[in-house]
Amino acid sequence: MAEGTNLSSVEHIKRKSDGLRGGIPEGISNELSGAIADDDQQLIKFHGMYQQDDRDRRDERAAKKLERLYSFMIRLRLPGGYLTPEQWIATHHIAGDYSTGVIKITTRQTLQLHGLLKHHVRPTIQAFNRAKLDSIATCGDINRNVACASHPSLSPAHAQVFAYADKISTLLKPKTRAYYEIWLDEEKILDKKEEEDPLYEDRYLPRKFKIGIGIPPNNEVDVLTNDLGLIAIIEDGELKGFNIAIGGGLSSTHGNPEHYARLATVIGFTAGEEKTLRAIYEVLTVQRDWGNRSDRKKARLKYTVDQYGAEAFRREVEKRSGFTLEEPRPFEFSQRSDLYGWERAGEDLWHYTVFVENGRVLDDEKLLLKTALLEVAQTGKAAFRFTSNQNVILSDIRSEDQQAVHAILEKYGVLAHTDNASAIRKNALACVAYNTCPLALAEAQRYMPTLITKLEPLLGKHGLEGEGITIRMTGCPNGCARSANAEIGLIGTAYGRYNLQLGGDRYGLRLNKLFRENIDEPVILEELDRLFGLYSREKLSGESFGDFVVREKIIGA
Amino acid sequence: MLAPAKMKIVEDLVAGSVKEELIWLSGYLSGLVASGGQPKEAEPEKKALPKITIAYGTETGTSKKLATGFAAAAKKEGVPVKLVGLDQYRLGDLAKEEYFLTVVSTHGEGEPPSAARKFYDHIHANGFKLQNLKYGVLALGDTSYPLFCKAGEDVDVQLNKMGGQRLVDLKKCDTDYEEDARQWFEEVLSRLTASGPAVPAPQVAVPKKVTGKKLYTGTVLANVNLNDRGSGKQTHHIELAADGIDYEPGDALGIIPRNPQSVVDAVLALTGADGAMAIPYKDEETPLVTLLQKKLNISCLPARVVRNYAALVGQDIPEAPIALTDLLRIYPLKEGVSIADLVSLLEPLAPRLYSISSSPEAHSGEVHLTVARDTFRVGDEVRYGLCSDFFSCLPEDSVLEFYIHRNHQFRLPADDRDVIMIGPGTGIAPFRSFLAHRDATGATGRNWLFFGDRHFTADFLYQTEIQNWFQTGVLTRVNTAFSRDQQEKIYVQHRILEHAADVWEWLQGGASLYVCGAKEPMSVDVEATLLQVAHLQGGKTAEEAVVWLEALKEEGRYLKDVY
């Protein structure tokens, strides 16, 4: 229907890729370069990897007659962000053997490793496979890792909701065997009919596709920022079904109003697994058929929804599903942060949420976090759940084991680290940006901790140290760390410069807006100091910073 | 009857003769009268000249050129000649030789060229006598090195010990060998023909003086460490601009390093000597400080110098290489020992040779080097090889003197012939020259490079240039081996073996094979692998494989520049 005559180049690459194989095997065995061919760089995303290079090192290496320092980022498929302790141990060692050693918890509850050299990709994937982990479809124009509210203590129905993440992930996995063939030495498929894919065909989706499942009242997953958000409706501890919201996505382009951030629109409600999965599936088929395939910047579902209208989109989904969606049920979000420290869920289970700044698990001079987590995993007493705020919950610990885990966390100072982190630090998010992200215009995760250290005294000065203001930074307007959906958003415009955006609400239901354009650190600090002062003096009781700046018309709502 | 003058001669003759002579003389005269003729013009019998063997041990081709010139001159004089390379020489033949002339150069620490190694070891094995041998040795060397002409000396002494007689004395030639070599062979020829009448000295054709040691002055245009951060190595790519520079791909650049001023100062301080003092050295009076800076090896004294020093100062000193500063610090000069005595036992500061990594066709007016910085530890202290350190620290725009060291043995084949190059580490240097040359000249032969080092990301020397040559088709194939990127060590020889079928096919098709880099273990392992390739792909037995490789060498298609 919307199949344009001039397809974007990526569309051609996908179609002639022979089931996402392309020239990847040849590229991997090429001895001259640490990179793979340009076209294959598009395809390898579907296998869960990005080719990157160390942008700090480009000039120096060129002078040495060396090519760029290419490496690969690999992202796991972890529906709902769950690992057994054995899988964490495996990941710990794989990270040490083949990557920079840092295990990065992403903003969508999965793990990624950076800095894999080309010849380490295959051994990495094989080692993950032995731990029953894969990276299929975690990047690329396809359904990505399915996020789901992670705290088991949120609801007695949590386990039931959580199970959907895996079901959806399996339902929407591509049928090609390329991953197994290329990386795991599976024998080549002779009869290509075996991998015929009625969902993705040979063209996959027009663009990335993200699904998140939220459990009110905690909107930790930022459910409305997904292409498809499911809001679990739980009554009396029982899962009734899901509100379905479509068309979320936070990417934008500086100076181009055609490209914008958008929160998802709730279009209906489904009850029961069969109908819910069917409706999800058909949202993807409609986007597959209606989405824009000539302009990748207009290819996300949010633009399709706005072009056709949410109503028309819903009717098409209903037509293809063979049933109508029910009226959305009421829901309310009143939290978005993680439940740090110990919490008890159910009869006999304990969970400890560890604060992990920017999701980076490593040992440094201040904290041996990676060692501590390994030791916890080695007890075999705790599972690992990752949150959309890039933290880890050591979960499902029995009462009799709680003390052992506690002792390890105490020994390595993890308890103190989590307790002592300020409210603003715990509510901060930053994307990867420099030095590996090719899109970054400015620093993010390398800079955010320093900026927060400078903001903490300002908040203290105004008596706001206890306020969990959400602050998020991204190195570009693509919004990986959901900077458009925070009370304070900092979006990189150039090296050392950011757009300061204000007015988002605390729970992820209202986007922020541009307040000051292209400013550097002194101006950022000066502006926030002034605004914190105003907020401290003039806020209403219980009023969040985001709501305050809107009410005071500091920013237009 | 006789004129007085003639009568005087007869009287003198008779007076000076004994009785038997007078009887013979009277018979001679009467016989002469009876035959009724004049005495014949003294027509000496054309005596059969002895057959000679001229054997050469060559590394860079100079010995071979000289020996070939000698053989041609001898033939012209009617002397039958067998010309043979020492690497081809049947050692069993030596005992049968009557006239044996050899030209031997000296390399490294007084060693014979690798082509003469077998011969050298054979005569030193000492189990036989050479009763009939008359021989001559022409030794080639370079006075800038310690142990000047040592290999030639050894051969001369050993052949003598074994019962050989010197036809001519040993002649030691410096880098300007032409005239000395010509004279030596003239003497050889005159001795060979000495039993007959004097023959005019034949003109021995010696190659005309090509380089001697023509010194060039170069300006450093660039000096880049090619290894990335985190590498355990430092390999410097140095570009020099030099007017009128003349060299060919395969040649090396020679440089005489300077000792760092800090070390020179330390020596002066330790000895309390005056740097301005003139010291006799090689027939000249030279200020001590100049000798220490430019002429003498003070950075690492070999054991034999340490031994001499121990005798000089009358102390027990372990015979191991040591820096002069360390030696003076631990075992100071005694009172009364003069600084000139110390200088006289020191060895010259030897030039260092580096394979040139540029091509005159591609890098006009420039010469490029690829120099690994030699790092080693003395106790807890990290030290650097003198010359490689000098290069590593050479800033842009600095000026240095150098000469071109010809390597006639390491040349590209005809433009349409295929080339296989095996050059791990700094062994890549001449192949960068080859490839740049073939790229610039549009040579049609195919090129296959094997490169290796420790790590792909940090140690892939000239990676982007190699990628370009591969993309533009100059390089037909490239294989790399990075030894430390995986559990098991992978080296170039493993890659050769992986591609044995194609390597064999290229060689059967006439390709030339070049090896450059570390002599041990690399070139030894590569050679063993080539034999394996001949076995696996050519179905050759172990002996046949050796013969095959020898033949390849003889055809000039298996060439090594190893160190």
Using one digit for the tens of pLDDT, what is the confidence trace for A226-260?
Answer: 999 999 999 998 999 999 999 999 999 988 999 99
- A59 to chain B: closest CA residue: B228
Phi, psi of A82 (to 5 degrees): -125, 135
pLDDT at B210: 42
pLDDT at B197: 44
Residue among B229, B463, B479 minimizing CB distance to A67: B463
Mean confidence (pLDDT) of chain A = 95
What are B239's strand-pairing partners? B222, B368
pLDDT at A278 over 70: yes
Phi, psi of B103 (to 5 degrees): -115, 120
DSSP class of residue B93?
G
CA A83, CA B479: separation in Å to the nearest integer? 41
Least confident of A10-19, A128-137, A467-476, B131-140: B131-140
pLDDT in tens, B299-311: 888 888 999 999 9
**Nearest Cα to Cα of residue A165 among A193, A145, A190:** A145
CA B126, CA B129: separation in Å to the nearest integer? 8
Contact in structure between A217 and A227 (CB atoms under 8 Å): no
Q: How confident is the model at residue B209 (pLDDT cuts 50, 70, 90)?
A: very low
- Residue of B460, B467, B475 best to disrupt the A interface, most CBs of A under 10 A: B460
Q: CB-based contact (8 Å) between B66 and chain A? A: no
**Nearest Cα to Cα of residue B133 among B153, B115, B158:** B158
Contact in structure between B561 and B514 (CB atoms under 8 Å): yes
Q: How confident is the model at residue B540 (pLDDT cuts 50, 70, 90)?
A: very high
pLDDT in tens, A283-337: 999 999 999 999 999 999 999 999 999 999 999 999 999 999 999 999 999 999 9
Longest Cα separation, chain A = 72
DSSP class of residue B59?
S
Cis peptide before B146 (omega within 30 of 0): no
How far is A97 from chain B, CA to nearest CA, in Å?
11
pLDDT at B35: 62
Residue among B225, B237, B467 minimizing CB distance to A33: B467
Find the angle CA(B287)-CA(B288)-CA(B289) to the nearest 5 degrees.
95
CA B152, CA B150: separation in Å to the nearest integer? 5
pLDDT at A515: 97
pLDDT in tens, A520-533: 999 999 999 999 99
pLDDT at B33: 62
Percent of chain B topping pLDDT 70: 89
DSSP H or E run through A342: strand A341-345
pLDDT at A194 over 90: no
pLDDT at B47: 61
Q: Do B463 and A32 touch (CB under 8 A)?
A: yes
pLDDT at B14 over 80: no
Residue A166 CB neighbours (<10 A): 16
Percent of chain B topping pLDDT 90: 51
DSSP H or E run through A403: helix A399-411
DSSP class of residue A154?
G
Q: Do B464 and A66 touch (CB under 8 A)?
A: yes
pLDDT at A438: 86
CB < 8 Å from B in window 10-39 of A: 31-34
pLDDT at B211: 41
Which two structure tokens, joined as six digits, stand for B304? 């034999």
**What average pLDDT does this structure show over A53-78?**
95
pLDDT at B367 over 60: yes
pLDDT at B178 over 90: no
Determine the residue type at A121.
Answer: V
Q: CB-based contact (8 Å) between A163 and chain B? A: no
pLDDT in tens, B34-73: 665 555 555 445 567 788 999 998 877 788 888 988 988 8
Q: Is A257 exposed, middle or buried (0-12, 13-18, 19+ CB in 10 A)?
A: exposed
Residue positions of A annotated with a catalytic role: 75, 144, 208, 210, 431, 437, 476, 480
CA B554, CA A180: separation in Å to the nearest integer? 52
CA B401, CA A433: separation in Å to the nearest integer? 50
pLDDT at B201: 47
Percent of chain A topping pLDDT 90: 92
- The 3-class secondary structure across A279-299, one letter per residue, is HHHHHHHHHHHHCCCCCHHHC
Q: CB-based contact (8 Å) between B227 and chain A? A: yes
pLDDT at B400: 87
DSSP class of residue B521?
I
How far is B511 from chain A, CA to nearest CA, in Å?
23
How far is B394 from chain A, CA to nearest CA, in Å?
16
pLDDT in tens, B69-128: 898 888 888 888 888 888 878 888 888 888 999 999 988 778 888 888 888 888 888 677
**Nearest Cα to Cα of residue A504 among A516, A513, A517, A496:** A513
A420 against B25, higher pLDDT: A420
CB < 8 Å from A in window 440-459 of B: 456-457
pLDDT at A557: 60
Least confident of A189-198, A464-473, A486-495: A189-198
pLDDT at B255 over 80: yes
Q: Coil, strand or helix: which one is A54? A: coil
Contact in structure between B220 and B398 (CB atoms under 8 Å): yes
**What average pLDDT does this structure show over A99-127?**
96
CA B347, CA B298: separation in Å to the nearest integer? 8
pLDDT at B28: 64
**What average pLDDT does this structure show over B518-539?**
96
Q: How confident is the model at residue A435 (pLDDT cuts 50, 70, 90)?
A: confident
Q: How confident is the model at residue B212 (pLDDT cuts 50, 70, 90)?
A: low
How far is B463 from chain A, CA to nearest CA, in Å?
5
- Residue of B464, B471, B476, B498 best to disrupt the A interface, most CBs of A under 10 A: B464
pLDDT in tens, A71-104: 999 999 999 999 999 999 999 999 999 999 999 9
Q: Do B226 and A65 touch (CB under 8 A)?
A: yes
